């Protein structure tokens, strides 16, 4: 069966995308992980992956022209397959046109396909009054998204700019906008469950639209999905009388709160039911958690603490007990595990270590910060020095692509940041062309976004080299796993006072240990060594970075 490829939602403000380049032409074979096109959005140019296999049968948008989000841009199927039925009833302006896919069988003898024709007719009629909302592609490595929260329930009125749901991807939690108006007729994925990219997550349209016909045309069971909605609503409704929320609850008893607010409340031990929401319709947001001060908690806690020791001491008999907690994997953690495993076991790593005397760098930083509009960190100096060294050693600024090595002309430095869910790498673009204060200001903004889950896809993609710094955590030295598609990653250790011998005299100097992990397929040992020597020169004599 032919599959429709639609214009994905690649940023939270995107309404349409311009086809910057097609990487496939009609008749080409397409694999599930092939990049079929490059799309220019309002924020960046990103790759579009179809996640389907077959032959490219149809291209709906020419290079240089735009398509609305969810509009049909291509169709993939078997060679010679009739795909025209997929375009009936709206082409690019009918986001749910793919539901008509089974109609291709109409070309066969009429008697043999009488029932499917009837079902397809009902689906086509239903699609005139409804729009299918699909799981958008929210990051360049995303294959599925997990529904964290639905902001609408079946029966609610939906406007074109309403946020329908919040989705956790491999990189961040982002909002999904349906760009459709009407009533929410169907929810296909429960909170806490995942859906593949391009999978149906909801249907919006006129009340009374035949949703079952649309789902049947997509090959999805209609009746069980409807029953699941009823079952999901029933326990919540029955639980409402026993809950004691003061504010911020919906009619079915569910607490209205953003995923970040829920997470912060859990981390801080705050009963979110007691928090008053200041967001839309009383929704609890991050600010409400940050500003929440429990009135009764301080008085209650000492009372409990006073009577607790005797009871706990008497009950605590075992010297120790076995126990464990199974923590469900987040989308980010799944992708970290997958990509770094692929990197470690497919890329032949080798490691180069060097000691850097940071005495002059420490003096220079102190002087620079007296006049800089933003505080310069040692990590900012490492990013700048790495970028300048990459300019002199472009072989390190490369990527392995199996049949060829791509040597990048631009220098985008990724700086690894640890957050609760795992590791993310915001990218400082054109770092070699920026001043230290520009790098420091941009890096600070990116780190703040990362910690607050506000990074957009263009903020954490496109790196050509990565810096991972654990020195601020007291780690003297370590080795890092290469961050694809880079060919190298620099592990930065702590600056530590060390006694050395120089010309027969002992003296204390401040040493920082650097370890360069290299992909031996694209970077040779001598190339990596020369890069490290250049980097060392910049850091030991920072004035050379200002030339």
Active site residues: 520, 524
Q: Which residues pair with 407 in a beta bridge?
A: 398
Calculate the CA 150 to chain-centre distance.
19
Half-sphere exposure of 54 (CA within 13 A, CB side): 21
Give every strand in the sheet of 488-502, ordered side by side: 349-357, 505-519, 488-502, 465-469, 413-415, 427-428
Residue 386 tokens, joined = 């790495």
Encode 118-149: b = buried (16+ Cβ within 10 Å), e = exposed: ebbebbbebbeebbbbbbbbbbbbbbbbbbbb
DSSP-based three-state secondary structure for 340: helix
DSSP-based three-state secondary structure for 114: helix
Q: Shortest CA distance to 489 belongs to which of 498, 499, 497, 479?
A: 479
E strands along 378-473, which residues? 398-400, 405-407, 413-415, 417-419, 422-424, 427-428, 465-469
Q: What is the DSSP string of 266-330?
A: HHHT--GGGPPP-SGGG-B-HHHHHH---SSHHHHHHHHHHHHHHHHHHH---S------PPPPP
DSSP-based three-state secondary structure for 451: helix
2 neighbors 77 (Cβ within 8 angstroms): yes
Q: How far apart are CA 483 and CA 509, in angstroms?
A: 32
Do the strands 488-502 and 465-469 form a parallel or antiparallel pair, or are they unpaired?
A: parallel
Rg of the chain in Å (alpha carbons): 28
């Amino acid at each position: 069966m032919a599959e429709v490829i639609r214009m994905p939602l690649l940023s939270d403000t995107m309404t349409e995308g311009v086809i910057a380049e097609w990487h496939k032409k009609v008749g080409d074979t397409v694999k599930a992980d092939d990049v079929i096109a490059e799309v220019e959005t309002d924020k960046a140019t990103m790759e579009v992956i179809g996640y389907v296999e077959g032959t490219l049968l149809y291209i709906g948008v020419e290079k240089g022209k735009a398509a609305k989000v969810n509009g049909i841009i291509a169709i993939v199927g078997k060679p010679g397959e009739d795909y025209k039925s997929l375009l009936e009833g709206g082409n690019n302006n009918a986001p749910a046109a793919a539901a008509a896919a089974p109609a291709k069988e109409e070309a066969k003898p009429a008697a043999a396909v009488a029932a499917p024709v009837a079902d397809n007719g009902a689906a086509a009629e239903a699609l005139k009054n409804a729009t299918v909302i699909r799981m958008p592609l929210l990051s360049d490595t995303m294959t599925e998204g997990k529904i964290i929260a639905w902001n609408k329930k079946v029966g609610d009125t939906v406007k074109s700019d309403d946020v329908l749901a919040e989705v956790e991807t491999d990189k961040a939690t982002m909002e999904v906008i349906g760009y459709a108006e009407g009533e929410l007729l169907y929810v296909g994925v429960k909170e806490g469950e995942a859906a593949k990219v391009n999978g149906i997550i909801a249907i919006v349209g006129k009340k009374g639209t035949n949703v079952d016909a649309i789902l049947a045309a997509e090959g999805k069971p209609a009746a069980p999905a409807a029953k699941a909605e009823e079952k999901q609503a029933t326990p919540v409704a029955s639980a409402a009388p026993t809950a004691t929320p003061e504010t911020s609850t919906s009619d079915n008893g569910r607490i209205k709160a953003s995923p970040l607010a829920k997470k912060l409340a859990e981390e801080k031990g705050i009963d979110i039911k007691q928090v008053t929401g200041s967001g839309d319709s009383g929704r609890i947001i991050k600010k409400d958690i940050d500003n929440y001060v429990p009135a009764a908690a301080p008085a209650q806690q000492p009372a409990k603490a006073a009577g607790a020791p005797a009871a706990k001491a008497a009950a605590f008999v075992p010297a120790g007990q076995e126990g464990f907690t199974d923590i469900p994997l987040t989308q980010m953690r799944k992708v970290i595990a997958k990509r770094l495993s692929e990197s470690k076991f497919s890329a032949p790593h080798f490691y180069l270590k060097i000691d850097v005397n940071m005495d002059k760098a420490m003096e220079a930083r102190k002087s620079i910060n007296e006049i800089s509009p933003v505080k310069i960190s040692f990590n900012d100096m490492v990013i700048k020095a790495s970028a300048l060294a990459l300019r002199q050693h472009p072989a390190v600024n490369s990527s392995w692509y199996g049949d060829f090595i791509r040597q990048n002309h631009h220098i985008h430095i990724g700086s690894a940041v640890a957050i609760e869910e795992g590791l993310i790498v915001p990218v400082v673009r054109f770092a070699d062309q920026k001043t230290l204060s520009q790098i420091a200001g941009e890096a600070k903004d990116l780190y703040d976004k990362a910690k607050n889950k506000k990074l957009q896809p263009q903020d954490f993609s496109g790196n050509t080299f990565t810096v991972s710094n654990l020195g601020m955590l007291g780690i003297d030295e370590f080795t890092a796993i290469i961050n694809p598609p880079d060919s190298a990653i620099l592990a930065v250790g702590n600056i530590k006072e060390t006694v050395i011998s120089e010309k027969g005299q002992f003296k204390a100097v401040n040493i920082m240990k650097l370890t360069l992990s290299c992909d031996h397929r694209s970077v040779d040992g001598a190339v990596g060594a020369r890069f490290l020597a250049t980097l060392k020169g910049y850091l030991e004599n920072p004035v050379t970075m200002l030339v």
